[in-house]
Amino acid sequence: MKAIIIDDEKQARVSLSLLLKEYCPEIEICADCENLPEGVKTIRKYKPDVVFLDIEMPGHSGLELLDFFDEKEIGFSIIFTTAYNEYAVQAFKLSALDYLLKPIVPEDLTNAISKLRKQKKDQFSIFSENILQEIPEKIAIPSGNDLILLNISEISHIKGEGAYSEVVMTNKTKYLVSRNLKNFEDVLYNDKRFIRIHRSYIINFDEAVSYSKSDNGWLNLKNDVTVPISSEKVNLILEKISIVKR
């Protein structure tokens, strides 16, 4: 698996590189970068599987990394590295794969790589297995060391947030998953109830209650949820409804 290290401290980059070579030899370090702009360019060049990312850096915080990418460019996991424990909550709000506190302990590093290995396995097997079913009744989403089985008919909508997606159920339960919206679009492709009506939304059309023409179009779902419609998707919505004429 390919990795990139982004950290403004040279000693921290060298130290992490040595730890990876000794304890995680399956990780190939493509490059190390001393700031976020350089890191963004390097990620686009090498397309790594994982980015080891310092949070506290001059100019840009590591927490800003995903602001530089759209969802199609994000095929990497993030492991945050920092000396400041206060950033743990912020890191996991972004659904980071893991969070390593400096100085990095080898056991913590190997545990993080084990999570990465499992995540990659899930990415190529769980979703592939779902795709092979013509219209699956359930979908499996990863959550830590577990797989949560969701009834597809009980999904209200899915909101894409860069490399992550928020699955919202009809009972208002929400699940944040480290998969982009395209993954879900592929899995649900054969289920005609689900439509990607916006670059950030897939909706269960069974949950739709009204359509508004204002501001390029909005779809109102049950549970008082309002979702925007991309202009090129309006006709797709209109094709699925019969309008009572005068």
Give the domain ranges of the chain: 2-125, 136-239
Could you tell me which residues are beta bridge partners of residue 147? 142
Mean pLDDT over residues 173-199, rounded? Answer: 88
What does the pLDDT look like over 55-83, one tens digit per residue?
A: 888 888 787 887 788 766 778 888 988 88
Instruction: Identify the pLDDT of residue 121.
Output: 58
Reply yes or no on whether the pLDDT at 196 is more than 80. Answer: yes
What are residue 94's phi and psi, to 5 degrees? -85, 5
Average pLDDT over residues 185-189: 83
What single-letter amino acid sits at 159? K
Question: Cis (ω within 30 of 0) for the bond into 103?
Answer: yes
Which pLDDT band holds residue 95 (cuts at 50, 70, 90)?
low
Among 176, 177, 179, 236, CA closest to 203? 236
Which residue type, as a one-letter code, is found at position 147? L
CATH 2.40.50.1020 is held by the domain 136-239: yes
Whole-number percent of the chain with pLDDT over 70: 84
Residue 9 structure tokens: 């401290």
Q: How far separated are the first and last CA of the chain, in Å rounded?
A: 62
Q: How confident is the model at residue 189 (pLDDT cuts 50, 70, 90)?
A: confident
**Which top CATH class is 2-125?**
alpha beta
Q: Is the pLDDT of residue 164 over 70?
A: yes
Q: Where are the alpha helices (DSSP H) in the chain?
A: 10-23, 36-46, 88-93, 106-132, 181-187, 234-239
pLDDT at 74: 76
> Does this chain's domain 2-125 share its CATH topology with 136-239?
no
Q: What is the pLDDT of residue 91?
A: 53
What pLDDT does 126 receive?
A: 46
Distances, alpha carbon 12 to alpha carbons 82, 194, 224, in Å: 10, 46, 48
β-strand 50-54 against 2-6: which pairing, if any? parallel
| Cα 25 → chain centroid | 26
